[in-house]
Amino acid sequence: MVHQSRGMHLTVYFTAVLLGSVWADGVKVRGREGTTVTLEIGQTGLQKDDQILWMYGRDGLDMRIANLNGREIKTDYIESFRDRLQLDSQTGSLTITALNVSDCGVYQGQIIGAKISSHRFNLTVYGFVSPPYIKVNTYLVSVSCSSLTVECTVENGREVILSWYRGEERLSQTSSPDLSAMLSLPLEIRDHDGDIYSCVAKNPVDEKTTKLHTEETCLRNGESTWCCQTQTTVRLVVSAVVGVALIVLVVDHFRPRRCPKQGP
């Protein structure tokens, strides 16, 4: 009877694993790098003989990461998860601390007892978003400052979107699957009236904003442009004066000299 009971138990267990492997990807969970996430099974009133098994994988559920059997908890199966897993013996939920991007994948928790239940989660971990940087193209700032061209740049990352806003209105946005390249988004501002523009970089769990005050930008870069133009003009005038003086000296040097008249 004991062998028969164990055989039935193993049959049920493997059946549950196979069923779990063909179920959908499960609940989508998002986490931010360095934080903590809990995969909630939502089970209460676990029995003493219930077994809890957590599996993990990126392409398939091929790694055991946590187990509760006879009230004995084990979470040191995988070195990369060492000291970062907490299995709740009352609910069966699994907590992952100090998240990193390599934790992305599919997690499945199974409760095996009088009844079998399986819960699957698809975890995506995102990094922090870098603050976007705004560069003003001083060569394209008009003297009257009626228009200027700026460019916003940020380091790319998983699902990062870079956008320009005028107040609450989104003007443009960009993204790229190439995580090795920087994200850049230019913007031409015309006939501004002191509006505040914002460059926003965000992913599903983090967001950074850099603001652009057009009046201050125009004042700073407009004066710079006017100053450069004035300096250029002064240099041209000085060069012209020096050139004319040199020409006069050369002409005077080669001018024929008349002999002085001699007296009677």
Q: DSSP character for 137?
A: -
pLDDT at 100: 94
* Domains identified in the chain, total number: 2
| Grouped pLDDT means (10 residues each) for the chain, 264 residues | 41 36 69 95 74 90 90 90 92 94 94 86 95 81 67 96 95 94 92 81 96 71 42 50 62 55 48
Alpha helices in the chain (DSSP H): 2-22, 214-254
Which residues, including other chains, have CB under 8 Å from residue 152's CB and lie 6 or more apart? 132, 133, 134, 135, 162, 164, 184, 185, 186, 187, 199, 210
- Bridge partner list, 202: 161, 207
pLDDT at 174: 97
Nearest to 174 by CA among 195, 154, 196, 147: 154
pLDDT at 3: 41
Query: Which structural domain, as residue segments, surrounds residue 53?
Result: 2-126
Do residues 105 and 158 both lie within one domain? no
pLDDT at 246: 64
Stated pTM of the model: 0.65
Do residues 146 and 170 both lie within one domain? yes
Does residue 174 form part of some domain? yes
CATH number at residue 141: 2.60.40.10
Do residues 118 and 139 both lie within one domain? no
Do residues 22 and 120 both lie within one domain? yes
